[in-house]
Amino acid sequence: MTTEIKVPVLPESVADATIATWHVKVGDTVSRDQNLVDIETDKVVLEVVSPEDGVVTEISQEEGATVLGEQLIALVGAAGAVATPANTQAPATAAPASEGNPVDINVPVLPESVADATIATWHVQPGEAVSRDQNLVDIETDKVVLEVVAPEDGVMGEHIHAEGDTVLGEQLIGKILAGAAPAAASAAPASAAASDESSDVLTPSVRRLIAEKGLDASKINGTGKNGRVTKEDVDNFLKAPAPAAKSAPVAAAPAPVGERTQKRVPMTRLRKTIATRLLEAKNSTAMLTTFNEVNMKPIMDLRKQYKDAFEKRHDIRLGFMSFYVKAVTEALKRFPAVNASIDGDDIVYHNFFDMSIAVSTPRGLVTPVLRDCDKMSCAEIEKNIRSLALKGRDGKLTIEDMTGGNFTITNGGVFGSLLSTPILNLPQAAILGMHKIQDRPMAVNGKVEILPMMYLALSYDHRLIDGKESVGFLVAIKELLEDPTRLLLDV
């Protein structure tokens, strides 16, 4: 006997609802009055419970789907009923393997600030052997890439969600057969056509790469399992020299001048998030930028004098960022509004100093957080910044690394930027742009001197920070950097 699970009757003022959270999955045993799913309207969240004991045999509407009143969303059968997969799209099937125990591969728990994620890359295909702690799949959120590893040795089973699919925290995305071994290859192919078919199977990432490059997959020699084309095969194909013509034409046509090619690549999730947040900051704040310049000679002289002793004692190079962070922290103490943020109609003043440091990574610009800067020495600041930069480069930054921050420092000078107007990192009220240190002629006591000068740019939300405060804040940073003794004496 099968029992239909439907959306409750919705009030007349509510047109539709959304599947918020499934608390069970296909194949789960449920008991009478157990909450199966939360359904969210624009006013309330409705709980739908099981009318009897049984097994969930089908889920026809996934989380995020829009549904109507009394719409069928699932089936519950008697104990022992055969479950039907929820997705209508056929999942990737695993190659035959020796029997093993199925183990679910789920999306990790996502923080409250992250709504969903995207399957970025499957590193293991169905039927391939996996080892414990081997990275199976990369899952990309708005901020970081999460690696999901195999909990045990075995064989990769089905991919329930393919690359590019949007998934939720703890959602089932695949299975492995724990303890299984890959099936032995067949003694001989059933036919030449069957052999060709196996060699033409492409993974989603390889298929996308071939499409981007405008290549013909049939012309690429596959070296993977069963002749499968791998990313390395595509790279080698692109690097290989073009075959020479068998015979020269009598009158060769003139060669085109240069290549006129183009490629279309979808934005990564991080790039889309960066675009959205920058546009939001530009459109939702009264952003203004004020400028100043600083003579970097005192810090450069200090650094030259002590850099070797500093590195020998602390095992880290003495850079400029520790001076920047120290100066900004001191200036934030003097101007609390710059360290504040707007929350609705309230101003939130932060009595701690967590600094977001803009870091360029292969995936885009990210802003990991350096916490409690007021309690750090220069050596601790340099070590922590280096650690965040390496984690960003290697894609190892965590949600915790990226969360929070009251103020941002971005140093475009490392790329040669002479002057810029940085955009706010919401919900922060200000961001400081550092720039290239460049020798310029300056008037000093009536004489012209060549000094290493750097422009400072402070972008701020004028709704919260007045011009007097913004200029005073920037002047304080200038004075502290031009006379670093002030940082030690607190003057």
Please list the active-site residues. 462, 466
Spatial CA neighbour of 454 closest among 323, 227, 289, 292: 292
What is the spatial distance between Cα 23 and Cα 28, in angstroms, rounded to a whole number? Answer: 10
| The two structure tokens encoding residue 250 | 């009598």
3-class secondary structure for the chain? CEEEEECCCCCCCCCCEEEEEECCCCCCEECCCCEEEEEECCCCEEEEECCCCEEEEEECCCCCCEECCCCEEEEEECCCCCCCCCCCCCCECCCCECCCEEEEEECCCCCCCCCCEEEEEECCCCCCEECCCCEEEEEECCCCEEEEECCCCEEEEEECCCCCCEECCCCEEEEEEECCCECCCCCCCCCHHHHHHHHCCCCHHHHHHHHHHCCCHHHCCCCCHHHCCCHHHHHHHHHCCCCCCCCCCCCCCCCCCCCCCCCCCCCCHHHHHHHHHHHHHHHHCCEEEEEEEEECHHHHHHHHHHHHHHHHHHCCCCCCHHHHHHHHHHHHHHCHHHHEEEECCEEEECCCCCEEECEEECCEEECCEECCHHHCCHHHHHHHHHHHHHHHHCCCCCHHHHCCCCEEEEEHHHHCCCCCCCCCCCCECEEEEECCCEEEEEEECCEEEEEEEEEEEEEEECCCCCHHHHHHHHHHHHHHHHCCHHHHHCC
Alpha-carbon torsion angle 331, 337, 338, 339, nearest 10 = 90
Q: Residue 71 to residues 8, 77, 296: CA-CA distances in angstroms?
A: 8, 18, 69
Residues paired with 440 in a beta bridge:
451
Tokens 């125990």 appear where? 101
What is the spatial distance between Cα 410 and Cα 426, in angstroms, rounded to a whole number? Answer: 14
Cβ–Cβ < 8 Å for 196, 170: no
